[in-house]
Amino acid sequence: MDTRIIQQAKELSERIIRQAGAIARERFDQIGQLEAKGDFGDIVTEVDHLAEAHLLRHIRPAFPDHQIHSEEAGSLGNESDWLWLIDPLDGTNNYAIGLPVFTVSITLMYKREAVLGVIYEPMTDRLFVSAIGEGAFCNGKPMAMRSSPHLLKGNVGWIQGHAVRNDERAVRLRQFIDLRFKRMMRLWAPTLQWCMLAKGDIDGIILYNSEGDDLYSGLLMVREAGGVVIDFEGNPFTGMREEPYIIACHPEHREQLLRIVREGLG
Binding site: which residues?
71, 87, 89-90, 214
Please write down the long-range contacts of 56-61, taking CB distance under 8 Å and 24 or more positions apart: 56/86, 58/12, 58/16, 59/12, 59/16, 59/84, 59/86
Alpha-helix runs per DSSP H in 97-239: 168-180, 190-199, 216-224
What CA–CA distances, in Å, run from 257 to 154, 188, 260, 265? 12, 22, 5, 12
**Phi and psi torsions of 153, nearest 5°:** -95, 10
pLDDT tens for the chain, residues 1 to 266: 789 999 999 999 999 999 999 999 999 988 766 666 655 546 688 899 999 999 999 999 999 999 999 988 889 988 999 999 999 999 999 999 999 999 999 999 999 999 999 999 999 999 999 999 999 999 999 999 999 889 999 999 999 998 898 899 999 999 999 999 999 999 999 999 999 999 999 999 999 999 888 999 999 999 999 999 999 999 999 999 999 999 999 999 999 999 999 999 98
Domains 3-142 and 151-265 agree in fold: no
Distances (CA, A) of 127 to 66, 108, 138, 143: 24, 16, 6, 12
What is the CATH topology of the domain spanning 151-265? D-Maltodextrin-Binding Protein; domain 2 (3.40.190)
Listed by start position, the domains of the chain span: 3-142, 151-265
Could you tell me the pTM of the whole model? 0.94
Q: Given this model, what pLDDT does residue 36 score?
A: 60
The pLDDT value given to residue 94: 94
Range 3-142 has CATH code 3.30.540.10: yes
Mark the binding-site residues for Mg(2+), compressed into ranges.
Answer: 71, 87, 89-90, 214
Give the pLDDT of residue 62: 97
Rounded distance between C-alpha atoms, residue 207 and residue 1, angstroms: 29
